[in-house]
Amino acid sequence: MSEHDGVKSVLVVGTGLIGTSVALALREHGVTVLLADQDAGAVRLARELGAGEEWAPGAAPADLAVIAVPPQFVAQWLLDLQKNEAARFYTDVASVKALPIAQAVQLGCDMSTYVAGHPMAGRERSGPAAARADVFLGRPWAYCPVASTSARAVETVLALIELCGGDAVRIDPAAHDEAVALISHAPHVAASAVAARLADAAETALGLAGPGVRDVTRVAGGDPDMWSVILSGNARPVAEILEGIAADLATAAEALRAVSVDDGAAIGRVTELLRRGNTGQSRIPGKHGGPPSAYAVVQVLVGDRPGELARLFQVAKDAGVNIEDVRLEHAPGLQLGAAELSVQPEAAAALAEALRAHGWHVP
């Protein structure tokens, strides 16, 4: 199938963050989008955001229905939509895959027209107001056909993923659920457990917090109710990973107790965990999909005035250097901050030289 011929109209069921983001992405390509949600207010907000028009039961079948509801409700929606011939093909975007597929089989859904899917995109915020058309750009989008899935259904869902700018990854449902337990669900619970220690901490202690603990606990800001539903749908795989993390931490605590009563050698058990952590951390693909350290970082001191960064980027531009990423750290109450500019390794020296030549302080 070429150029999304098969996806001219899409019904989005569930206008939360992901459903509305899919709708916005499709609208940018001129696809007709119809919206449905049990919450009439959510549909209205999504409409006002330009995500599409309200769906009316009995409308002509859409080319594709995207079921964007919590995992536990996907199969029932699929059954109802198929009964009403609401679309030719169906997919969902729930963050677990084995459960909705098993339930759909159990309910007697037509599995030939359904491809389970999961875009790896989300934000700390939720709801249609936080939706963005670009949230899927370059992000993995898992899809899980089963033996009875038709080739045409797969093509239609691949067209959807392409329209949204996602990176299609075909994966077995059980492998998907184990993968997200490992790289999303269990880390979320672990981050929450670290953050939970801070709930009753002294203000003085929190005042010493730096970027490390902010990064470790950032995802713990997510909605507890939404995450509880996700974790319920992937309970066994997440439990297995958490058991491993809890055991490692209990061992580390025990070793540190031994160190504190003069068994200095016990620290070796902690070092071993830190080494495994090093190995695991180094295997996570970088932000741009490449290895973590594909870019070189050039540091430069910048002032806190309008135009400071514009001048800096202008210098980079004039030197023919493309800045791939930038992080700014400004100190409270001070005029100076540090910018870390990520560039292709071969461009780092040229950028540093150009910045110095224009009076920038590159340490």
Interacting positions 121-150 with a second copy (CB under 8 A): 121-122, 132-134, 137-140, 142
- Cα–Cα distance for residue pair 81/77, rounded to 1 Å: 6
List the one residue from 59, 79, 120, 146 that touches a second copy (CB under 8 A).
120
Of 81-89, 103-111, 151-159, 255-263, which part binds a second copy (CB under 8 A)? 255-263
Nearer to a second copy (CB atom), residue 137 or residue 349: 137
| 183 touches a second copy by CB under 8 A | yes
Q: Write the DSSP assignment of 328-359 as a string of letters.
A: EEE-TT-SEEEEEEEE-GGGHHHHHHHHHHTT
Question: Measured from the CB of residue 60, what is the shortest distance to a second copy in angstroms?
Answer: 30
Site residues (CB under 8 A) for a second copy, limited to 225-254: 225, 227-228, 231-232, 235-236, 238-250, 252-254
Task: Find the binder of a second copy among 59, 338, 348, 350 (CB under 8 A).
Answer: 338
Considering the rule CB under 8 A, would residue 323 count as an interface residue with a second copy?
yes
Give 305: exposed, middle or buried? Use CB within 10 Å, 0-12, 13-18, 19+.
exposed
Q: Can residue 310 be called a binding residue for a second copy (CB under 8 A)?
A: yes
CB nearer to a second copy: pick between 155 and 167: 167
Interatomic CA distance for residues 162 and 170, integer angstroms: 14
Q: Which range of residues in 5-13, 38-46, 83-91, 263-271 is near a second copy by CB under 8 A?
A: 263-271
CB-based contacts of 113: which residues, under 8 Å, 6+ apart? 82, 88, 89, 90, 150, 153
Interface with a second copy, residue 290, by CB under 8 A: yes
Closer CB to a second copy, 285 or 345, in the complex: 285
By beta-carbon proximity to a second copy, the closer residue of 63 and 177 is: 177
Give the helix/strand (H/E) hosting 107. helix 98-107
Of positions 1, 151, 284, 357, contacts a second copy by CB under 8 A: 284
Q: Which of 40, 60, 147, 202 binds a second copy (CB under 8 A)?
A: 202
30 counts as binding a second copy under rule CB under 8 A? no
Distance CA 161, CA 226 (A): 24
CB of 302 closer than 8 Å to CB of 312: yes
Q: Which long-range contacts (CB under 8 A, 24 or more apart) does 144-149 make?
A: 144/97, 144/101, 144/115, 144/116, 144/117, 144/118, 144/170, 144/171, 144/172, 144/173, 144/176, 145/115, 145/170, 146/101, 146/111, 146/173, 148/111, 148/112, 149/111, 149/112, 149/114, 149/115
Residue 344 in the binding site for a second copy (CB under 8 A): no
Using alpha carbons, select from 154, 172, 157, 150 the residue that is nearest to residue 98.
Answer: 172
Alpha-carbon dihedral of residues 310, 316, 322, 324, nearest 10 degrees?
-60
Cβ 152 to a second copy shortest distance, Å = 25
* Residue whose CB is less far from a second copy, 51 or 62: 51
Which residue, 109 or 347, is less far from a second copy as judged by CB? 347
Strands (E), the chain: 9-13, 32-36, 53-54, 62-67, 87-92, 114-119, 140-144, 167-170, 296-303, 325-330, 336-343
Is residue 257 at the binding interface for a second copy, with CB under 8 A as the rule? yes
User: Does 48 contact a second copy by CB under 8 A?
Assistant: no
Number of residues that bind a second copy (CB under 8 A): 139
For position 299 contacting a second copy by CB under 8 A, the verdict is yes
Tell whether residue 197 is a contact of a second copy (CB under 8 A): yes
Select from 57-65, 84-92, 151-159, 318-326 the region that touches a second copy (CB under 8 A).
318-326
The reply on whether position 174 binds a second copy by CB under 8 A is no
